[in-house]
Structure 1
Amino acid sequence: MSRILIAEDEQDIRQLLVDYLQQSGFTTVAVDNGNDALSQARTEQPDLVLLDVMMPGLDGLEVCRQLREVSHVPVIFITARHDEVDRIVGLRMGADDYIVKPFSPREVVARVEALLRRARWRAEAEVVQTGLQLNTETYVARWQGQVLDLTPVEFRLLHTLSKHPQRVFRRDELIGAAYDDHRIVSDRTVDSHIKNLRQKLQAVGAADVIQAVYGVGYRYTE
């Protein structure tokens, strides 16, 4: 269940957002000032923040600026301001969306759902370990920022192993992950792909992140 932080100083609007979001299956945390908004965002680690621009204490722009220093949580600004400059400033501060009062609470819920879907897609598309970055949409792999020249099979093997660090994968499990056409592949073929993959990783300084477990298979560890 996704947790939504609502920072809005007008009680009626704050309660309206709480009611509609809870009816839509979300958990909510509601505050009425910018200082509490920043504090709750840091401690509660919400999945999304609805942030009023004009609030007592820190305003929404400053809350967003400080939040962006430590978090990529999706942020939707809610404001009575209609000026295009204000919207541009908000987006440049790191907001993901912008809703102007008066608004339809159903539209807010729809935008929250859409933004959370996009956040999940981005998270699922990228595996990030300490030094490894894999993007399954582009098939680009990097180690400490250096691009790895991997074949599609090598990429899928590395993706499977790195998603579950320390887990030992049998060769037949790796065959199923590496080949999506259900072809018959021998254990030696998997060993050959792993050997090439390890050489490419070692060439960029990632020595021994893929380890052989005698008689079983392979595991990924940093």
Structure 2
Amino acid sequence: MSTPADELKTAVIIEDDAEIRHILAEVLESSGFSTVSVGNGIDGVRAVLTYKPLLTTIDVNMPGIDGIEAAKRIRAQSDTFIIMLTGLSEEADVIAGLGAGADDYLLKPFRPRELRARVEALLRRSRGVPASASPAPASRGSVGPSFPAARVATSATPVVPVAAEVVVPPAPGDAATAAPATLNSDEWLVHRDLRLHPENRVVLVGGDELELTRTEFDLLATLLESKRRVRSKADLTLVLRGESYVTSYFVGDADKRAVEAHMTNLRRKLGDSPASPRYIETVRGVGYRLTADSV
């Protein structure tokens, strides 16, 4: 039986504007999170490494290291959900943030209910743990470890003496790389020499395991399940949000460009060329689908 402590969720807020920090904290706390607020990227990386939050929000433009660099350092060492915050005139930063490992973005000024909706959509998605993470992965639907319920405001002072420059790469021969051999072959999604296991969140290309972000994995799984059926950028946006395709959900140009950015990163990791694709082809003006089994 779960206890109240088991249900606690922590969010780290990395934002240099005190008023926006306060708004973010109020919205997230009303959604059941305890919050840790910091005012710059260095302190934000330290806070994530210390509090191991389920969710992290990062402002793009901050003093010291910017939000893009902070996201890269966090993603190298943490499986936290990352939402990037940026101004309407800085849409290109959203694309850079997604490339740095962010899961979603929010344009300023934002409405509190939009932030809550984005957070709820992220939490509906399964939390795959990369090989570089802790050897005890979170189970589907878990909310991570327990943390103090009180908000910790640290906009001026570093939260803990943890070196923000440290990056821990996956150890060679890590036990996680041996996992595919034990998986049920009937559960794989297969296209050419590309294999994906939805439940265990493992991707193999030619027998070698591929490390993908949560969003890249979800996009690839959707395309593999759809086979030759074309999936539009709007459709893929709503898949990533965990919503059904209905007219009440707005998908803007920024959402579609975000899908394009994730797809570019996915293709790069697959070694796939948009001009001569082996796995994923672009249907101009529509979206994406798998290539034919043979060309």
Equivalent residues in 2 for 1:12-91, closer than 5 Å: 12-91=19-98
The secondary structure found in structure 2 opposite 1:55 is: coil
Judge conservation of contact 2:86–2:93 (CA < 8 Å) in 1.
Answer: no
Corresponding residue pairs, total: 144
Deviation at 1:36, TM superposition (A): 0.5
The secondary structure found in structure 1 opposite 2:125 is: helix
Equivalent residues in 2 for 1:1-222, closer than 5 Å: 1-120=8-127, 124=139, 130=176, 131-133=178-180, 139-140=187-188
Deviation at 1:82, TM superposition (A): 2.9
Aligned sequence identity (%): 41
Q: Deviations over 1:89-144 (max 9, x none)?
A: 1111111111110000121122112112214488646xx964324779x724799x
The structure in which a higher percent of residues are helix is 1
TM-score, length of structure 1 as denominator length: 0.56
Pair member with larger Rg: 1
The secondary structure found in structure 2 opposite 1:116 is: helix
Q: Deviations over 1:23-79 (max 9, x none)?
A: 121111111111100100111111111000111221110001111222232110011
Consecutive aligned runs of 4 or more in structure 1 exceeding 6 Å deviation: none
Judge conservation of contact 2:86–2:94 (CA < 8 Å) in 1.
Answer: no
Structure 2 CA distance for partners of 1:135 and 1:34, relative to 1, 3 Å: farther
TM-score, length of structure 2 as denominator length: 0.43
What one-letter code is carried by the residue in structure 2 that aligns with 1:61? I
- Provide the aligned C-alpha RMSD in A: 3.1
Greater relative contact order (Cα < 8 A, sep 6+):
2
What one-letter code is carried by the residue in structure 2 that aligns with 1:132? A
